[in-house]
Amino acid sequence: MEQWNAVGTPLHFRVGITAAQPCNNDGNNATGWRISTCGGNNFGDALAITTRNYRFNNDTGLWEIQDADIILDQSRPWVASFAGPLSSVQDFRRVMVHELGHMLGLEHPDEAGQDDDAIMNSSVSNIETLQDDDRRGIIFLYGAGSGTATSGNIAVNESSGGSGGGVGGGIVLLLPLWLWRHMRRTS
């Protein structure tokens, strides 16, 4: 989340702790492990899937992300994080940085014919941080601004408040309490 926050758009991630579950389309941006996707299908070769639900804003005339959830395949042997060359595709940190990009609205640039280095490309690679293409993509969606957040920006039990289109706001990613505790120990 810190990497995406550091891009400097008016939109930033905050962490909240809740019992909210992914797949509910309840306006809470949640993450968690499951044995199947929200639709009940197997993950196939996907390590994680991000779902997004949209609503039309009559005031702006734009579609906005209403709810985005990240679901990780719990059957995989996840590793907290690797530094340097990739030694396993189940690198939790790299996959989460990628999925957070989907939560913000980015897709896979390589599947659109781009030949740029990007953490948002469709496969896990030696890339472990955001690249220029990733930063340009999020700035394109939300504009540049003074929304850079610090790593201490933590909101507990807040509802989501994402507001795109260059308008200041934040996305609260709701994490299960045990995951939040694990992240604090390893960061």
- pLDDT, tens digit (0-9, with 9 covering 90-100), for 111-132: 999 999 999 999 888 898 999 9
Which two tokens mark 98?
């990628």
Torsion on CA atoms 106, 179, 182, 108, rounded to nearest 10? -20
pLDDT digits (tens, 9 = 90+) for 28-84: 888 888 999 999 999 999 999 999 988 888 988 888 888 899 999 999 998 887 677
Show me where the domains of the chain are located.
2-186
Residue 176: which residues within 8 A CB-CB, separation 6 or more? Answer: 17, 19, 32
- What distance in Å separates the CA atoms of residue 13 and residue 149, rounded to the nearest whole number? 8
